Structure 1
Amino acid sequence: MQLQAIHHVALICSDYAASRAFYVDLLGLRVVAEHYREARQSWKLDLALPSGGQLELFSFPAPPARPSRPEACGLRHLCFAVENVAAAKAWLESQGVAVEEIRVDEYTEKRFTFFADPDGLPLELYEQPAA
């Protein structure tokens, strides 16, 4: 077996409308498909990532809270590559999103920062200049 890439990452949100607006309207991810699953009282939204992968967004009635910080076991964060972290940070802040200070990866010397989605899931921006 040889893994080729990450196909998708699935997230469960507490407020479907707020999360949909965050990922589609704010972050600009393209909707691939959107379905309401009556039997599960659940929305499923497939979003295209620029790299070809997908983000699946689910809603369920009363999902339990998942610990995020301090460093809980499990998914730590999602990271998106951007060409310029400072410009992305400034744009997010202009949209009312709280963004941490920019740091430098001690091993790669690349700049990065963190912000959060509507449910507090940590999201990272990692600088990857165009080649």
Structure 2
Amino acid sequence: MTSPSSRESTAELDQLSTVQLIERFQQQTVTLVKSEIREALGEVKTKGTRAGIDLGVSGVGLLLILFGLGSFTAAAIAGLANVVSLWLAAVIVGAILLVVGGVAAAVGAVRAKAQVPPIPQHTADSVAQDITTIKEHL
């Protein structure tokens, strides 16, 4: 926030009435709030766009991984079927996949919770600085 002394001399401010000073304060406050809101919206939009693109790329990668895992699963069942019966080989491989998948899902859920909400941190810091400046000058 720019201090009034940087734009106008103290003598010029002394010439203004209380009503004029309050009107200026109100106008500057409205301008500041609108500016901070615009900045916050822009920051959230940018983060949302980046997250959407990243999720799309990750989705394609996961789909390809799924196809690869399907192939390896079929190969594991076929290989294990040489040692035990086919149905038992399918059960063993399926159980292993469920355990690994459960662990991966739990880790992913914990990491996803750490990312939410996408706070516009720059704007939050700016607003905190504005509030501190206003408190200092009151």
Normalised by the length of structure 2, the TM-score is 0.19
Greater helix share, structure number: 2
Q: Relative contact order, CA 8 A, sep 6+: which one is greater? A: 2
Greater strand share, structure number: 1
